Amino acid sequence: MLTSLFPYLNFDGNAKEATHFYVEALDGELLGITTFGEAPNDETATREEFSLPPGVEDLIMNAQIRLENGAMLMTSDVFPGREYHTGNNLSLTLTYDDVEEARAVFKRLAQDGSIGMELQQTFWSPLYGSLIDRYGIEWQISVDAV
């Protein structure tokens, strides 16, 4: 079952500043910030998708803002090595409580689109992947950690 849908805003090296701006502007609550340098250094973090160039340790990998109505807003800097441009500055994240349902939705959305990161286990989710659908919309599919 789909458990949440939230916007994910990506920035070009100024996500920390933008995150604090949105917390204040939207009367939100900053739940947490994780930098790329704080990502666990284990076999998951050493995969090609997580190899980081020097000097990006302080960039924001993920920040969570809870709004007054309980809605969530996520922010991050564009993944190091990927180019920032209009179109990848916003993605939609779907979170599921069922791995098979997440796989099915990922497969349907990816049809005639392009996969950015194949579905796989990460340190934050038992199953996560990203894609751009046939209409140019970026999606992140995630399963709640147990």
Which structural domains are found in the chain, ordered by start?
2-143 (3.10.180.10)
Q: What is the arithmetic mean of pLDDT over 104-133?
A: 94
DSSP string, 17-64: HHHHHHHHHTT-EEEEEEEGGGS--STTTTSGGG---TT-TTSEEEEE
Please tell me the predicted confidence (pLDDT) of residue 145.
82
Residue 30 pLDDT > 80, yes or no? Answer: yes
Please tell me the predicted confidence (pLDDT) of residue 105.
94
Please tell me the predicted confidence (pLDDT) of residue 111.
92
> pLDDT tens-digit profile of 38-74?
987 655 444 455 677 888 999 999 999 999 889 999 9
Higher-confidence position of 145 and 16: 16
Please tell me the predicted confidence (pLDDT) of residue 41.
64
Higher-confidence position of 24 and 136: 24
Query: Smallest Cα–Cα separation from 74: which of 20, 138, 14, 7?
Result: 7
Please tell me the predicted confidence (pLDDT) of residue 82.
83
Band of residue 121 on the pLDDT scale cut at 50, 70, 90: very high
Q: What is the arithmetic mean of pLDDT over 102-113?
A: 94
pTM value surpassing 0.85 = no
Residue 98 pLDDT > 90, yes or no? Answer: yes
C-alpha distance from residue 120 to each of 44, 83, 107, 108, 138 (Å): 10, 23, 13, 17, 17
Please tell me the predicted confidence (pLDDT) of residue 137.
82
